[in-house]
Structure 1
Amino acid sequence: MPQKDTRVTVLQIGEQNWFSKGETENFRWSFVHSADTELDAETLLPGFLFDAIIITGQLSFGRYLQLNKFLSAYRIFLVEQQSGPILKMLRSKQYIDASQWPKQRLLALISENFYMKQMGTKMDMRVVKPVLNEQSTAKQFGNSHWEFNLVQDDHDPNMIMWSDLRLVSTYDFDMWMEFEKTSNLQMELEITHISAPTSKILYTERLSEKDLKQGVMIHKTDEWQYLAFKLVLHGSGVLNLGNFHFRKTRHEFGTMLPGGERLIDAQRKELFVYFDSGNLKPPLNIYFAGYRTNEGFEGYPMMKNLQHPFILVSDPRLEGGEFYLSDQQELEGQLVDYIKRKLAWLKFKEDDLNLLGLSMGTTGALYYATLLPARNVIIGKPLINLEYVATAGRNQRPDDFLTAYDLVEDLKADTLARPLITADDLKNPSTNFYIIYMDQDDYDNTAMQLLLDNLGPDVKIVQKGFEGRHNDNTGRVVEWFLIYINEILERW
């Protein structure tokens, strides 16, 4: 079976091809002439998305319009300065000025940071190994977090270790630890580097609490190494220790995707957000990712191909996500502010907005319709009764989707018990709902009826049902999801 080509795909637009043969060790290289008037059908495949675009020649307005669909935001390197109108349009795509960079520096930077696949994982809570003195206690809350009540003993210090080892070699990665603690407790993280070929301990580095608060980067190495982690605790107090995240870094160019950002609350929990200005025409589409055990964004090619501005939202909390909810609502407030800022930047009206989601993402789309005056909500396979998802799972899926139990543990009862959405809660009473659902949904078979009951007869609801359980016919659900979206965009 042939190996998948993981090289970075680059489109160069200019007068002289930097790699005339089109193939290099690190890149799949494509070239189009900046002055041509035709599109190369073999080079520019419809819907193909390049990892990076390098502009080394002057573009005419007509040529820019021809190539515009291939010019993805945050991925354009401008080597040759452009005329005012072209520069203004490239500015909306957040181009990177590379006019003063040596060619080799630019290529090295693209190779290191503009790779195709997102990589993000977290440590399983079951590999946390507390080593505590007799006065201190530990309690595990599923795969959500640990709570430690620690008492200082100079002769028997408290430590927390992880039995899982991280393997590193060819790339830098970011570490992010979720924690909340009392001020009289200090901590230090020890990372022991172990040679993978020989199992020899190479060295141990120590990171202060200040380092951990800022986030830590682990740099690539010349040989494969395992990393072992130990958290050393000083003083007495309470520590809530959440997930320990590891993400392949793009350095200063974004989180998970080029241009990706993080929203962070006081507990160091996060949401990922990504904004693309698209064609600068209304509406702004907000897509909430579904359940993802690997951290990162979802739906980028789908939203990109719709051409309109969009925001991707992803939830890296718990295992696969925390359904975009929290008790403190700090992250919710940050996300609402982020969306409002992008609407203002685009100079759109406040209701030039669609909220979209599939499966877990439907919870986000529905809930944020109570916080934002969306014109439309388009969802597939809705999950709205999260307490029911957990309790029903004990009988219907006892070994599946354990995140639902963590959700019940992590959120307060009144947060889970309150209706996710009602007609009275809608920020825009004229919001329209387009819902694709499964008739025998084994995650939440109450969702469709609850939505009909809670929204009532005065709210427009268009629905499409399919036979089967939650994951039996995802292809058809996505097909109708896109049918509804495209119909709405055509009428806008």
Structure 2
Amino acid sequence: MKILQVGGSKINEDELDSEYELEYVDQLNFEDDELWQYGLILILCPLPEIVTELDLFENLLMQTKIMYASDQIDLKIFPELERFEGTTLFSFNSDELSHMISEINSFFYGGQHGGGKQRITNVIFNDNENLTYNGNANVYIDLSDNRNSKEIIGTWKYGFPIQKAREYSFWPEFKLFGNAELEYKFYVLYDSSTDVKEVITLNASDFNEPINFFDTNRSLTVHMTVKVSGDGAVELGHMHYRRRRGKYGTFLPGDARLVDNTTRQELFYYYSPGNLKPPLNVYFSGYQTAEGFEGYYMMLKQGNPFILITDPRLDGGVFYRGTENLETQVFDIINGKLKDLQFKKSELTCIGISMGSYAALYNAAHLSAGKVILGKPIIDLNVVIKNSKLVRPDDFGIIMDMATYLRRDFSDFAADLPNYIRNNIFEDMEFRVAYMKNDDYDSNFEKFIDATKMKFKNIKKFGYQGKHNDNSGPLFKRLEAS
């Protein structure tokens, strides 16, 4: 990632990690239209010209991150910049520069390193007698006939590497029934040692928030076990393992987490205020095994305010469906930003591709959005699951685990969105869709749209030859133009 230092004594490049490339200038040229290429601009001197170039400075904050020495330049006097604080604008004092360089190395890396997860199927148990695996979603451990107070212990097959001066978090999915108890143990090894240097024991109540590991002096490897005991049952799901940005966020600086504490299921969102002009674009990431956001640079190019939302559950997402609590949190975030921006609902645009298209239409319909833009749309999950058996066997089998994961009857759950569209009128909603003519996921899409087209203000659809995962380039360009 390229860093531009503006003014002050030039930073010793040896203090920066090798992934950074440092350039130095005495003053910031606001007319330079190449400033967007820097992942971070570090300002260590006064900028008197900012008074006359405030619009250009705001535009720059919509394209890259800026860190500034608050004792050299007072940006607090510009209320227009307050909306960028914590997402693309960060302050520090000059005498904290050494600390700030450490923060840059640890937390301001380019792109998204994404998160990962270890499936519950990567856990080896000492006793499989009372275990029921629900596909790849979770394992149900029944302790109701545990007369001998037997302890069931699971050990993760693989260790979790934690780089020096990098923060990583752990978030397990589990649910307790009756008087069951849960205990996790983290065995910490230093550097390349095979000796356990520290053991951290945590029970279920300790995991109200993710547990973070961070060591400035050495790399770590963490091995884990889980002990299940008591009377009742336990449902164990995946262990989420993510590189974090410390106090600044998880995947992107300024992002935030939505969680239903009863199910421990999460979504993440990122908000950029942009130019404060409508519409508010909400982009739902598609299915992806690496946790993180999609669409960041595409939304930046638009200039308008935007929200990115991502679903890290199961292998690559659960179509953004969940409990009423979790789904309502998404509605509330979008409605809250509309209110802050003083936008009408007709100035909301929901966007998504593939799995994200389902979420875009679902949320657009429930929030009465003015526009929905879909790519490779998936609307009827019953058709997807039917095709997973007959049209593309052994492909996207994870959809079989969704109903188990959400504890719902799949047929009823899958019919939610098609039925909602059929039973409501969206006369003020514009509908833009780019689809594959030979889609092998939701192959009934064209029929569904033709049957419901009178329910929307207007529909423009663009068909491309190919199956669901084909021909993405032209389709994405069409969506950007929409």
TM-score using structure 2 length: 0.89
Alignment partners' CA distance in 2, 1:458 and 1:290: 24
Aligned to 1:254: 249
Which of 224, 229, 253 is the aligned partner of 2:224?
229
Which of 50, 53, 68 is the aligned partner of 2:39?
50
| C-alpha spacing 1:219/1:99, structure 2 compared with 1 (3 Å) | closer
Mapped contact 1:61–1:86 kept (Cα < 8 A): no
Partner secondary structure for residue 299 of structure 2 = helix
Aligned to 1:18: 10
Mapped contact 1:73–1:277 kept (Cα < 8 A): no
Q: Superposed, which structure 2 residues align to 1:330-349 within 5 Å?
A: 330-349=325-344
Mapped contact 1:173–1:218 kept (Cα < 8 A): yes
Mapped contact 1:73–1:276 kept (Cα < 8 A): no
Aligned to 1:275: 271
2:166 corresponds to 1:141: no
2:427 corresponds to 1:429: yes
Which of 80, 83, 87 is the aligned partner of 2:78?
87
Q: Superposed, which structure 2 residues align to 1:49-448 within 5 Å?
A: 50-51=39-40, 53-54=42-43, 56-58=45-47, 59-72=49-62, 75-80=65-70, 82=73, 87-94=78-85, 95-99=89-93, 102-116=96-110, 117-132=112-127, 137-151=130-144, 152=146, 156-170=150-164, 171-182=166-177, 184-194=179-189, 197=192, 199-220=194-215, 224-265=219-260, 266-326=262-322, 328-410=323-405, 411-413=408-410, 414-420=412-418, 421-422=420-421, 424-425=423-424, 428-448=426-446
| C-alpha spacing 1:153/1:18, structure 2 compared with 1 (3 Å) | farther
Paired letter, 2:480:
L
| C-alpha spacing 1:444/1:398, structure 2 compared with 1 (3 Å) | same
Runs of 5+ in structure 2 lacking a partner? none
Paired letter, 1:169:
Q
Mapped contact 1:429–1:459 kept (Cα < 8 A): yes
Between 429-438 and 168-177, report the one with greater CA deviation.
168-177
Aligned length: 468
Alignment partners' CA distance in 1, 2:238 and 2:438: 34
Alpha-carbon distance, 1:125 to partner? 2.7
Aligned to 1:487: none
Runs of 5+ in structure 1 lacking a partner? 1-7, 485-492
Mapped contact 1:357–1:379 kept (Cα < 8 A): yes
Between 410-419 and 434-443, report the one with greater CA deviation.
410-419
| C-alpha spacing 1:384/1:402, structure 2 compared with 1 (3 Å) | same
Alpha-carbon distance, 1:361 to partner? 0.5
Mapped contact 1:119–1:247 kept (Cα < 8 A): yes
Paired letter, 2:120:
M
Alignment partners' CA distance in 2, 1:215 and 1:35: 40
Q: CA RMSD in A?
A: 2.7
| C-alpha spacing 1:280/1:56, structure 2 compared with 1 (3 Å) | farther
Mapped contact 1:168–1:221 kept (Cα < 8 A): no
Aligned to 1:5: none
